[in-house]
Amino acid sequence: MAPVDTLGQDQPVGDWGQIVGTGLTFALAFLAVGYVLTVARRDRITWPFFLLLSGGLTCLMEPLYDHLYGLWFHEENQWNLYETFGSSQPVWVPAAYVAFYGGASVFVARTLMRTPNMRTVWTMYFAVAAMAIAAEIAYVSVFELYSYQDDQPYKFFGYPLFLGFTNAMSALVAGILAFRIAPMLPRALDQVALIAIVPGAFAFGLFGTGILYLSVRHGFEDPPMPLVYVAALTVPLAIASTVRLLGICLVRTATPTPVESRPTSVSV
C-alpha cells in the first residue's frame, strides 16, 4: 500500500529553539509523571498511571492530525523520532502528550472528584485551552519547531486559535470520563481499559467535532477563505455543546466525595 504523503514548506530547525523547546517539554513530562506518582502513592490508587500512559500513546495520532490540519514539523536539523503519514515527528512529541494529555487528564479527573459541578468543568476547560494556546504559540513563533501551512483561519502569531479549544477538549473529555469510570474499577486489571480513553477523546475532538471544517478544508483545491472561517467556527461551537452535554450528564449528577474515600484497592 502507498503511504499517505504530506507536503510542506520546510526550513531549518534552530539549535537554541530545539534545545530549549525539547528540554522544556521533557521537564513538563517529568513534572506530570511526578504528580501522578505522588497522587498514586498518597491515595494508594493505580488508575492515574493508565490514564498517563493513555495520554502518551495518543502521540501516535499526531501525524494524522498534522496531515489533516496542515501542521508541518520542520525537518531540516530536526531531532527525529520517526516518520508516518508523511509527517516527520520530533523526539519531544511523546513527552508533550504525556504532560498535556496524560497529566492534564488526571488533574481534571481528580479536580472533578472534589468539586463536581459545571463551574469546575468550564473553568478547567478554559484553563487547559489557554495553556494549549500559549504552548503552541511558543512552539510555533518562539522556538520555531513547526508551522501551520497554507491559509489558516484565525491565526495569531502563526497559530490558528480555534485549534486550542480542540486540544483542550481531549484532556477535558478524558478527565470527565475517568472521573466517573475510575471509581468503578477497583482492580488494576480492569483499569487497563482506561488506556483507550485519551486516544478516543482526541479523535472525538479533532476528527469528530472538526469534521465540517475538515470537509471544507480538504473538499476544494483552493477553498474560499470566508467559507473556511465559517467552517472553523463550527469546531469550538460543537466542542462547547459536547462539553456542556457531558457536564450535565456525567458531572452535574455526581455527588461530591473526598478523593481519599474513593475505592483505593490495587488488587488485580
Q: For 152-196, how does the pLDDT look when each residue is reduced to its tens digit (9 = 90+)?
A: 999 999 999 999 988 888 999 999 999 999 999 988 889 999 999
Spatial separation of the C-alpha atoms in residues 83 and 76, rounded to whole Å: 13
The count of other CB atoms within 10 Å of the CB of residue 177 is 21
Q: Is residue 107 within a helix (H) or strand (E), and if so which, with residue range? A: helix 104-114
Kindly state the DSSP code that residue 72 receives in the 8-state scheme. E
Q: What is the mean pLDDT of residues 211-221?
A: 89
Kindly state the DSSP code that residue 78 receives in the 8-state scheme. -
* Contact assessment for residue 22 and residue 90, using Cβ atoms and an 8 Å cutoff: yes
Q: What is the pTM of this model?
A: 0.89
Only one residue has cell 497529566, namely 103
Q: Which pLDDT does position 139 carry in this prediction?
A: 95
Q: How open is the CA angle 180-184-187, to the nearest 5 degrees?
A: 135
What's the sign of the alpha-carbon dihedral 213, 244, 248, 167? positive
Spatial separation of the C-alpha atoms in residues 137 and 133, rounded to whole Å: 6
Spatial separation of the C-alpha atoms in residues 213 and 112, rounded to whole Å: 31
Confidence of residue 144 (pLDDT cuts 50, 70, 90): very high
Q: Which pLDDT does position 166 carry in this prediction?
A: 86
- The 3-state DSSP class for residue 155 equals strand
In this structure, are strands 155-156 and 159-160 parallel, antiparallel, or unpaired?
A: antiparallel
